[in-house]
């Protein structure tokens, strides 16, 4: 993923490594000191490498997930479409035949590898394996010249169809259709061609590849290939004509041909001349690949965003380890400074040591990251099994690209280098005498004049820049600039206020703004970018932890009586809180790790809970009283099906039937996110037939939902869409409002009309095509008269909404109707079940993200364990003295366990409260939650399980260090030398 990032990252990494190499060459003393510490402190080296490994692994894992999704969808396109780059669907009759003749000239085009003409019609099929009928209502029946098809495309390439034409009475099926019907070679199958049954025997089954996997959109990839003349004869007998489809293969093979799509499409239009307006020129491969890239990049970015919190936790783990190393080595550093080593060379020594740890972690991090990506891919395969883009269900295929591996390694190393350098610069600032004597640091001096001037200037600049950013609801800047202005103002506040007061005010203000920004500017989430969520979560966690760290003594007042009890538990409790209060930076870094991860886990848990609580209201909005959506072959069904549903034999169980006009069109994006035309399923609603389907937003002056439908019926300028129209795969947002306009085009005639959005549907599920459309086809709903004016004869009744009688099962009625009207290729979709299935998929996806984020929790628990390991070593002499004074080993062990429990509980509480509060504010103010009417339940059970698991893991990580501390022998511990 992100090939554009590779070159800049590698350049920065190369510059960093060159600088480190220069330091190693020019400062031999620093180099020897660094490598000597690595050799002597093997346990420390293992801890630092572990922290770097986790950070790199999470980055690589997120990028590998993106690779896998991109590769899977792209391979699906190459496999199912093969050499087919363009297809031209011509109208029946003389004009269509003339268009086909004109397209024959493309065979001489140097950019074209092949031209193949075939005929197709929508059909249905039935078989009887074991004597029981098995039906498939959506089949494409093809009539194609097999010898010509085998030569279609690049010379020597695989077109997907080869061999001789099937003999009369025989048929060739592709694999999906054969599996659906449960038949194989030699078995009988009945195809309904133009409503009339024809029985064939299966000649052979071919893989769903190339010409054997093509469709006319979406999921129509169950193909049957008939003997020559069979389809023509069936059409003549029914008084109809099949569709004529001309396939074009571009030069360059299956993958390379996509680059010539624009050129060849222009050549096709030129060849058709005046007939181009009557033909549909489609670029299925280019469209699928474009959609695949957008979907893969979006999902990969989502996982990278989730992983970003774990990456931050990993960086904090490195910082914490180096701070503890610096504090432990303070006397040693004081001695080397006292004998003349410059501060810059001390920084060089520490940086070289840390860089060596980071480099050693690169290969293990890549291996673990690839393993993480593989695990996510296995789970994602189940979630995405029913999702389709331009063809059929996506089969997740694990894939790794060198670009993602190099990007992951470069990001991991650069983050580690930056964390190590920043920490090293901080810990190198010490008083030499105090360091040699191992005295605690002073309270600090007031900010210098230079720092005051620079920070105040930056504060003013950030505040000035924040005004237009907030006014325009620019997402990242709305959060960052006010927070930076407050942070830069801290030195000035320290001149007039006590340190604790100043820092508390700044931290509280940053936290308050982070939480209230969605209230003040709710449109900041109307962006496909994921970075805003990382910034929001990080600011909330850091400011909250800083606020708590500065006021720990105040927070502990309710338990002061317990801490002051003259008992062994009271002593253990005092020891448990003494070190966290004394080492605020160390405690704060550990708290941030916990708070960040628990915050996002609680956020995901709450969002999942809100979605689940909204299922019933979403079903009510989507159905509006309708139980089934019917999609059928209008050419075969005609008006007979609607008559039967209303008054005929199919009327049993149906209370009302609302037919819908359907046509394929293109539209501009009213949200202006793309300049490319969007594929649309244009739906015409009969005047007055629908009044109770709800809207989340209505045009000013339309007081209720029924008024919107009346406006759509009365004025052809008005249309309605749903909130997902033109979705780019990012978070749902409010990109357009009633009153905004879009252009709707009939691709066959080129006629375009400007339409005004009269309302945004609360749930537009009933208007999405039940079959035959890819996941990137969005409905535009208009009045019946306006639809006929724009699309003319292209607008046909090919779907209907059905309201069932009370007590009638929609699922049972759907099964019965599909069986009775199989010849019409009828597909009946129970709307409520479809909505609930989508919510189940969303819940499963949230669980997948929670599992991925749990790796960050592992970083936090590991960080706490590292802190405890280092604390035992650091407090060795103190523990020895306590034991010599009579403290029992059990008291020492208990104090360490309570100390980790104290830090873990604070992090869990902070993260949970912030997660719930942030979700509630987003629910109340963000457009992403509009239309969810199930209330805001607090997921006590889910958050409780999360808190209990985190707490238990934290205690387990501390058991080992606590036992080691209790086992220290006083006589050995109080010695000066180790």
Distance CA 493, CA 499 (A): 8
* Range picked from 265-274, 558-567, 769-778 for highest mean pLDDT: 265-274
pLDDT at 897 over 80: yes
Give 663's strand partners.
Answer: 682
Comparing 208-212, 324-328, 330-334, 877-881, which segment has the lowest mean pLDDT?
324-328
Is the pLDDT at 774 greater than 70? The verdict is no
- What residue spans define the domains of the chain? 1-80+286-442, 86-282, 449-539, 565-623+831-978, 628-807
What's the whole-number mean pLDDT along residues 764-785? 77
Distance in angstroms (rounded) separating the CA atoms of residues 691 and 624 = 9
The size of the chain, in residues, is 978
- Residue 882 or residue 920, greater confidence: 920
HEC string of 169-203 equals: CEEEEEHHHHHHHCCCCCCEEEEEECCEEEEEEEE
pLDDT-based confidence at residue 155 (cuts at 50, 70, 90)? low
Backbone angles phi, psi at 220, to 5 degrees: -75, 70
* Backbone phi, psi, residue 142, to 5°: -115, 150
Residue 147: pLDDT band (50, 70, 90) is very high
* CA dist list (Å): 670 to 41, 167, 730, 754: 62, 52, 16, 11
**Half-sphere exposure of residue 24, counting CA atoms within 13 Å on the CB side?**
14
pLDDT at 771 over 60: no
CB atoms within 10 A of CB 558: 8
CB 394 within 8 A of CB 381: no
Confidence of residue 720 (pLDDT cuts 50, 70, 90): very high
Distance CA 715, CA 926 (A): 32
Mean pLDDT within 536-555: 89
319 contacts: CB under 8 Å, gap ≥ 6: 419, 422, 423, 589
Residue 547 has pLDDT above 70, yes or no: yes
Amino acid 443: pLDDT: 55
Compute the average pLDDT of residues 692-719.
Answer: 90
Q: Buried b / exposed e across 338-371, counting CB within 10 Å, b at 16+?
A: eeebeeebbbbbbbbbbbbbbbbbbebbbebbbe
pLDDT-derived band at 388, boundaries 50, 70, 90: very low
Task: For residue 2, give the 3-state DSSP assignment.
Answer: coil
Highest averaged pLDDT of the listed ranges 247-256, 285-294, 505-514: 505-514
Count of CA atoms in the C-beta half-sphere (13 A) of 906:
27
Q: What gap in Å lies between CA 119 and CA 244, rounded to an integer?
A: 5
> Residue 579's CB: how many other CB atoms inside 10 A?
20
| Secondary structure class of 952 (helix, strand, coil) | helix
Query: Would you say 73 and 288 are in contact if contact means Cβ atoms under 8 Å apart?
Result: yes
Distances (CA, A) of 24 to 214, 347, 354, 409, 425: 61, 12, 13, 22, 17
- Higher per-residue confidence, 839 vs 818: 818
C-alpha dihedral (455, 459, 462, 468), degrees to nearest 10: -170
Distance between CA 27 and CA 739 in Å, rounded? 68
Strands 196-206 and 170-174: what pairing? parallel
Provide the token pair at 314.
């990993």
Give the up-direction half-sphere exposure of residue 857: CA atoms within 13 A in the CB hemisphere.
24
The per-residue pLDDT for 973 is 67
Residue 887 CA to residue 725 CA, distance in Å, equals: 69
Q: State how far the Cα of 575 lies from the Cα of 570, in Å rounded to an integer.
A: 9
Q: What is the 3-state secondary structure (H, E, C) of 204-261?
A: EEECCCHHHCCCCCCCCCCEEECCCCHHHHHHHHHCCCCEEEEEEEECCHHHHHHHHH
Nearest Cα neighbor of 174 from 163, 159, 184 is: 184
Nearest-CA neighbor of 123 among 181, 165, 80, 164?
181
Spatial CA neighbour of 662 closest among 682, 646, 637, 642: 682
Overall average pLDDT of the 267-285 stretch: 86
Residue 692 has pLDDT above 70, yes or no: yes
pLDDT higher than threshold 50 for residue 978: no
Range scoring the smallest mean pLDDT among 203-212, 374-383, 700-709, 955-964: 374-383
- Tell me the CA distances in angstroms from 218 to 13, 144, 633, 970, one per residue in order: 44, 21, 16, 75
Query: In the chain, what is the straight-line distance between the N-terminal and C-terminal CA atoms, in Å?
Result: 50
Return d(Cα 589, Cα 319) in angstroms, integer. 8
pLDDT value, residue 15: 93
Is residue 775 pLDDT above 60, yes or no? no
- Predicted pLDDT at 776: 67
Rounded average pLDDT over 553-570? 80
Confidence label for 365 from pLDDT (cuts 50, 70 and 90):
confident
pLDDT at 728: 61
Question: pLDDT digit string (tens) for 84-126?
Answer: 889 998 887 788 888 889 998 898 899 998 899 999 998 999 9
User: Do residues 685 and 781 make contact, with C-beta atoms less than 8 angstroms apart?
Assistant: yes
Instruction: Give the per-residue pLDDT at 391.
Output: 38
**pLDDT value, residue 668:** 93
Close Cβ partners of 605 (under 8 Å, ≥ 6 residues apart): 850, 915, 939, 942, 943, 946
Q: How many beta carbons lie within 10 A of that of residue 145, not counting itself?
A: 15
What confidence tens digit (pLDDT) does each residue in 220-275 have?
578 999 999 999 999 999 888 888 999 999 988 777 888 898 899 999 999 988 88
Under the banding of pLDDT at 50, 70 and 90, the label for residue 633 is confident
| Three-state SS at 113 | strand
pLDDT of residue 383: 66
Phi, psi at 174, each rounded to 5°: -85, 165
Rounded to whole angstroms, how far apart are CA atoms 167 and 201?
A: 10
- Exposed, middle or buried, 409 (CB in 10 Å: 0-12/13-18/19+)? buried
Lowest mean pLDDT among 61-75, 125-139, 246-260, 631-645: 61-75
Which pLDDT tens digit goes with each residue over 654-674? Answer: 888 899 999 988 899 998 877
Give the integer Cα–Cα distance in Å for 141 and 125: 10
> Is the distance from CB of 601 to CB of 911 less than 8 angstroms?
yes
Residue 658: enclosing H or E segment and its boundaries? strand 654-667
Q: Does residue 518 carry a pLDDT above 60?
A: yes
804: DSSP letter:
E
Q: How confident is the model at residue 931 (pLDDT cuts 50, 70, 90)?
A: low
Q: Is the pLDDT of residue 389 over 50?
A: no
Could you tell me if 74 and 410 are in contact, meaning their C-beta atoms sit under 8 angstroms apart?
Answer: no
Q: How confident is the model at residue 145 (pLDDT cuts 50, 70, 90)?
A: very high
Q: How far is CA 407 from CA 2, 403, 412, in A?
A: 8, 6, 8
Q: How many CB atoms lie within 10 A of CB 967?
A: 12
**Residues 72, 904: Cα–Cα separation, whole Å:** 40
Predicted local distance difference test score (pLDDT) of residue 509:
94
Average pLDDT over residues 353-378: 86
Average pLDDT over residues 154-167: 82
Query: So what's the pLDDT on residue 946?
Result: 86
User: Both tokens of residue 259?
Assistant: 């680059």
CB neighbour class for 639 (10 Å; exposed up to 12, middle 13-18, buried from 19): exposed
Residue-wise pLDDT tens digits, 400-418? 889 989 988 898 888 888 8
Mean pLDDT along residues 626-639? 85
| DSSP, res 386 | G
| Averaged pLDDT for residues 385-403 | 65
**Using CA atoms, how far apart are residues 626 and 619, in angstroms rounded to an integer?**
10
CA–CA dist 733, 534 (Å, integer): 17
Instruction: Give the residue with greater pLDDT, 437 vs 495.
Output: 495
Q: Which of 454, 383, 429, 342 is nearest to 27 (CA)?
A: 342
Average pLDDT score over residue span 323-328: 73
Q: What is the mean pLDDT of the chain?
A: 84
% of the chain at pLDDT higher than 90:
23
């Amino acid at each position: 993923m992100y090939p554009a990032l590779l070159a800049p990252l590698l350049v920065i990494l190369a510059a960093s490594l060159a600088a480190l190499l220069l330091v190693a060459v020019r400062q031999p003393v620093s180099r020897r000191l660094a490598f000597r510490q690595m050799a002597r402190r093997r346990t420390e080296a293992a801890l630092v490498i572990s922290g770097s490994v986790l950070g790199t692994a999470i980055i690589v894992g997120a990028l590998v997930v993106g690779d896998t999704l991109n590769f899977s969808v792209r391979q699906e396109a190459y496999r199912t479409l093969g050499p087919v780059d363009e297809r031209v669907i011509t109208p029946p009759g003389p004009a269509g035949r003339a268009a086909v003749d004109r397209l024959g000239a493309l065979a001489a085009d140097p950019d074209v590898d092949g031209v193949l003409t075939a005929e197709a019609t929508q059909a249905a099929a039935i078989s009887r394996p074991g004597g029981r009928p098995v039906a498939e209502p959506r089949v494409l029946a093809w009539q194609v010249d097999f010898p010509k098809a085998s030569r279609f495309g690049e010379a020597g390439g695989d077109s997907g169809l080869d061999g001789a034409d099937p003999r009369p009475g025989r048929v060739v099926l592709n694999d999906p259709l054969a599996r659906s019907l449960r038949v194989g070679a030699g078995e009988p199958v009945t195809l309904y061609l133009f409503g009339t049954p024809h029985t064939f025997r299966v000649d052979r089954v071919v893989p769903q590849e190339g010409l054997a996997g093509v469709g006319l959109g979406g999921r129509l990839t169950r193909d049957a290939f008939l003997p020559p003349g069979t389809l023509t004869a069936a059409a003549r007998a029914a008084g109809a004509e099949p569709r004529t489809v001309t396939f074009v293969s571009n030069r360059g093979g299956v993958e390379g041909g996509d680059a010539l799509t624009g050129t060849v499409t222009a050549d096709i239009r030129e060849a058709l001349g005046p007939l181009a307006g009557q033909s549909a020129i489609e670029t299925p491969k280019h469209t699928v690949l474009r959609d695949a890239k957008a979907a893969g990049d979006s999902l990969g970015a989502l996982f990278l965003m989730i992983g970003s919190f774990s990456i931050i936790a990993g960086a904090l783990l490195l910082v914490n380890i180096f701070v503890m190393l610096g504090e432990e080595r303070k006397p040693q550093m004081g001695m080397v400074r006292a004998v003349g080593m410059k501060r810059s060379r001390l920084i060089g020594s520490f940086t070289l040591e840390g860089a060596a740890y980071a480099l050693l972690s690169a290969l293990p991090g890549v291996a673990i990251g690839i393993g993480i990506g593989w695990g996510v891919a296995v789970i994602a395969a189940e979630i995405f099994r029913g999702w389709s883009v331009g063809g059929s269900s996506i089969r997740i295929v694990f894939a790794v690209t060198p670009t993602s591996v190099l990007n992951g390694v470069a990001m991991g190393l650069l983050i580690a280098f930056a964390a190590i350098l920043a920490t090293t610069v901080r810990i190198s600032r010490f008083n030499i005498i105090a360091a040699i004597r191992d005295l605690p640091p002073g309270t600090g001096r007031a900010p210098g004049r230079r720092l005051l001037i620079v920070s105040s200037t930056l504060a003013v600049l950030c505040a000035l820049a924040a005004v237009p950013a907030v006014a325009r609801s620019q997402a990242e800047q709305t959060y960052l600039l006010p927070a930076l202005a407050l942070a830069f103002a801290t030195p000035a506040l320290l001149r007039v206020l006590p340190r604790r007061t100043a820092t508390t005010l700044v931290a509280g203000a940053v936290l308050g703004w982070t939480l209230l920004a969605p209230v003040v500017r709710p449109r900041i989430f109307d962006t496909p970018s994921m970075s805003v969520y990382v910034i929001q979560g990080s600011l909330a966690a850091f400011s909250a932890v800083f606020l708590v760290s500065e006021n720990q003594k105040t927070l502990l007042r309710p338990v002061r009586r317990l801490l002051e009890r003259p008992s062994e538990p009271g002593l253990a409790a005092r020891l448990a809180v003494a070190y966290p209060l004394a080492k605020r930076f160390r405690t704060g870094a550990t708290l941030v790790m916990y708070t960040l991860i628990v915050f996002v886990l609680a956020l995901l848990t709450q969002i999942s809970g809100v979605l689940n609580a909204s299922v019933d209201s979403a079903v009510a909005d989507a159905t509006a009283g309708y139980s089934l959506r019917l999609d059928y072959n209008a050419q075969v069904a005609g008006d007979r099906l609607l008559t039967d549903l209303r008054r005929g034999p199919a009327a049993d169980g149906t209370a009302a039937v609302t037919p819908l006009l359907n046509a394929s069109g293109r539209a501009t994006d009213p949200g202006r996110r793309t300049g490319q035309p969007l594929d649309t399923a244009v739906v015409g609603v009969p005047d007055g037939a629908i009044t109770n389907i709800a809207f989340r937003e209505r045009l000013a002056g339309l007081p209720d939902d029924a008024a919107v439908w009346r406006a759509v019926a009365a004025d052809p300028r008005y249309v309605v869409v749903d909130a997902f129209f033109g979705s780019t795969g990012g978070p749902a947002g409010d990109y357009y409002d009633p009153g905004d306009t879009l252009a709707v085009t009939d691709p066959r005639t080129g006629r375009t009309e400007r339409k005004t959005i009269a309302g945004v549907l609360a749930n537009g599920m009933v208007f999405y095509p039940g079959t035959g459309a890819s996941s990137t086809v969005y409905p535009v709903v208009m009045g019946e008269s306006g639809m006929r004016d724009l699309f003319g004869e292209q607008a046909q009744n090919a779907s209907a909404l059905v309201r069932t009688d009370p007590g009638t099962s929609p699922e049972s009625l759907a099964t019965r109707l599909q069986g009775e009207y199989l010849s019409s290729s009828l597909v009946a979709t129970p709307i409520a079940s479809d909505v609930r299935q989508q919510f189940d998929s969303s819940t499963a996806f949230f669980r997948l993200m929670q599992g991925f984020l749990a790796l960050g929790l592992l970083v936090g628990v590991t960080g706490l364990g590292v802190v405890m390991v280092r604390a035992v070593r650091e407090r060795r002499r103190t523990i020895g003295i306590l034991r010599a004074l009579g403290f029992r080993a059990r008291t020492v062990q208990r104090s360490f366990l309570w100390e980790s429990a104290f830090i873990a509980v604070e992090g869990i509480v902070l993260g949970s409260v912030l997660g719930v509060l942030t979700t509630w504010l987003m629910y109340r103010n963000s457009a992403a939650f509009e239309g969810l009417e199930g209330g805001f339940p607090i997921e006590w059970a889910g958050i409780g399980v999360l808190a209990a698991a985190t707490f238990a893991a934290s205690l387990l990580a501390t058991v080992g260090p606590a036992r080691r501390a209790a086992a220290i022998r006083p006589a050995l511990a109080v010695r000066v030398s180790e």
